[in-house]
Structures are given as C-alpha cells and as structure tokens.
C-alpha cells in the first residue's frame, strides 16, 4: 500500500524493506513495504501500480510516471547519507540501511531504502 502521509505507519516485517521514493520535484516522498529481494526498478513499478487513496497519492503517481517516462537514473542514500547511483536491477537488500524511525508504538531501527528517481535530458549529436 502506497502512502504519502507524514505519519509513518508502515512497519516492515522480517524480510521486508521500507522503500521511500521521490523525485527532485516532489515535496513529499511515498513509502511502501516491499520484499527485500525486490529490485529498485520493480519497486518503482510497484508504486506506479499501487492503489491511489488520496489526492496526494494521485499527484505522487502522476509525477513519478512523468519522471520515468523518459531517460532516468536511480539514486539511493548510503549509510553515510551520500547519494549513490544504482542500477534498476539492484536488489533492495543490497542497498538497505538500518534507520531509526518513529512509529506510533515508539522508535525502531528498520531496513530502509531511500530512492530518488531523476530524469535527465539526452545529450549528444543531433541530426
């Protein structure tokens, strides 16, 4: 289930990763729990297929769809909070970082992947 809400209620279970996705033009990210074996590309596609339950969710999906409609790259935040480029086939488990997050029942360290999808303009020789 996709959520663009501020309150973090998605608590991953064993073998799941909290995946947080945004684009540079988005004020808020969206979060979804996914199996650790899911690839970065598959996680973005899963968000695009998620049920939309609010205007915020709808705007998120529209912006993400626009961002992936052309050439784009995926970046994730490393343990040192550096943005690193990753390939679409990179598994969430390979880049997940334990982060302490606040949940309604208190803070917990959970495996997280923060993904930024960045569209770029193709550059080269034009005929």
The CATH code of the domain that includes 54 is: 3.10.20.90
Asked whether residue 2 is assigned to any structural domain, the reply reads no
Question: For position 127, what pLDDT does the model report?
Answer: 53
Dihedral through CA 8, CA 31, CA 60, CA 92, nearest 10?
A: 160
Residue segments in the chain with a per-residue pLDDT below the cut of 50: 6-7
Q: What is the total count of domains within the chain? A: 1
**What pLDDT, on the 0 to 100 scale, is given for residue 7?**
43
pLDDT tens column, 81-106? 889 999 999 999 999 999 888 878 88
Cα atoms in the Cβ-side hemisphere of radius 13 Å centred on 23? 21
For residue 34, tell me if it sits in a domain: yes
> Considering the domain boundaries, does residue 103 fall inside one?
yes
What's the pLDDT at 3? Answer: 53
Whether 10 is in a domain gets the answer no
Residue 17 phi, psi dihedral angles, 5° rounding: -125, 135
Asked if the structure places residue 6 within a domain, the reply is no
- The parent domain of residue 57 ranges over 16-119
In a domain? residue 112: yes
Q: What is the pLDDT of residue 125?
A: 57
**Are residues 2 and 49 in contact, defined by beta-carbon separation less than 8 angstroms?**
no
Contact indicator for 119, 64 with CB cutoff of 8 Å: no
User: Would 49 be classed as within a structural domain?
Assistant: yes
């Amino acid at each position: 289930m996709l959520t663009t809400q501020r309150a973090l209620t998605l608590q991953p279970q064993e073998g799941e990763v909290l995946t947080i996705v945004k684009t540079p033009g988005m004020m808020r990210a969206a979060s979804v729990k996914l199996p650790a074996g899911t690839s970065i590309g598959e996680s973005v596609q899963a968000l695009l297929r998620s049920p939309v339950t609010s205007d915020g969710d709808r705007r998120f999906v529209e912006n993400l769809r626009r961002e992936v409609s052309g050439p784009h790259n995926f970046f994730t935040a490393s343990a040192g909070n550096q943005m690193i480029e990753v390939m679409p086939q990179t598994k969430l488990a390979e880049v997940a970082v334990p982060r302490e997050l606040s949940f309604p029942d208190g803070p917990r360290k959970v495996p997280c992947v923060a993904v930024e999808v960045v569209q770029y303009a193709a550059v080269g020789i034009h005929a």
